[in-house]
Amino acid sequence: MSSPPSECLHTEKASVTRSDIWYEDGNVVLQAESKQFRVHWSILTSQSSFFKDLQGLSQPDENQPCVDGFPVVELPDSVVDVEYLMKGLYLPTFLGQPALPLPVIEALIRLGRKYDFRDLLDFAVARLTYENPTTIEAYDALLDSDRKYTPTRIVKSPGLLFDTITLAQENGIMSVLPCAFYRILRRFETLFDHIPRNDGTLAALSSADLHRCVGPATGSCKLSSDQATPCIKIRDSRLNDYFDSLHLGALSTFSPSAKGNRKLQLCTDYKESVRALVDGGRARMWDELPGFFELPPWDKLKLSDL
């Protein structure tokens, strides 16, 4: 067990409580708000250049608060964020969960950036980018057999998409934005809502983000042709009705046998043409997706990530 510094102002206020992250052989106490975490310099310094530098600068000071003779480092962060960070450092099973709540991801990204816990930061960013990919192939891989999306590495929760966008923009993880914005447009009726989170607070888009969404949401996809044959006019009319029915599902695939597509009544010669048209349109749509939301191209977005 480490020996405490010889000079230290012993202090344990009645209002300060110990967290569950409290190791009797720990040699430094972190305090966030009114909760303390007794941990190890060796763990902190092996994962964070910030704490490595902080330990190097630390000198015994009789005016420095301490607990059991060990220094207290006061952090100006929320106790919830610090607790998630400590669990990430000390509890392997905590990070090993298949899906983590977004507040955990938020804490690891915020404090990972601030205190240079690079491994935890990369871990959290990877979960965020997995759920909001930069390629259409990865986007398709996240859909089930009914082409519905349910997050698998971040816990589904009210306001998740809104909070994902806020988190990404606040921390410079810009490559997740096009996919997240597109998913919001699939639920256009909620665009202007304030969605109650599980903790009772409200999730909402900023005015700037609403502006990004309104333009694409009011656009339309139509087919036209200068060839005026009756067959083509009928075909194009049916296809335009079909695209109208997609609403904002610009990345939807085409299956003639799918429910809702049978009403097109396309002749056999046109089915494969329509499939090719839709597939080609999906690829172009994905390539151009960032521009719909006034964002740089994919390659620049990825370069701007952490």
pLDDT band at 3 (very low <50, low <70, confident <90, very high): low
Say if residue 187 is exposed, middle or buried (CB neighbours under 10 Å; 0-12, 13-18, 19+).
Answer: exposed
- The answer to whether residues 96 and 157 touch, using CB atoms and an 8 Å cutoff, is no
Q: Which of 34, 56, 78 is the last residue of a domain?
A: 78
pLDDT at site 13: 59
Mean pLDDT of 190-197: 88
73 strand-pairing partners: 30
Q: Write out the two tokens for 185.
A: 């447009």
111-153 pLDDT per residue, tens:
999 999 999 999 999 999 999 999 999 999 999 988 899 999 9
- Considering the domain architecture, whether residues 55 and 110 belong to the same structural domain is answered as no
The mean pLDDT of the chain is 84
Q: Note down the domain range covering 116.
A: 82-217
Token pair 């709540």: residue: 101
Whether 2 is in a domain gets the answer no
How far is the first Cα of the chain from the last one, in angstroms, to the nearest whole number?
A: 38
- Considering the domain architecture, whether residues 153 and 32 belong to the same structural domain is answered as no
Per the structure, the count of domains in the chain is 3
pLDDT band at 100 (very low <50, low <70, confident <90, very high): very high
- Considering the domain architecture, whether residues 154 and 208 belong to the same structural domain is answered as yes
- Considering the domain architecture, whether residues 120 and 181 belong to the same structural domain is answered as yes
- Considering the domain architecture, whether residues 68 and 127 belong to the same structural domain is answered as no
146-169 pLDDT per residue, tens:
889 999 999 999 999 999 999 999
Whether 223 is in a domain gets the answer no
pLDDT at site 38: 98
Alpha-carbon span 279 to 281, nearest angstrom? 5
Query: What is the chain's alpha carbon radius of gyration, rounded to the nearest angstrom?
Result: 26
pLDDT at site 77: 98
- Considering the domain architecture, whether residues 39 and 96 belong to the same structural domain is answered as no
- Considering the domain architecture, whether residues 257 and 169 belong to the same structural domain is answered as no
- Considering the domain architecture, whether residues 234 and 130 belong to the same structural domain is answered as no
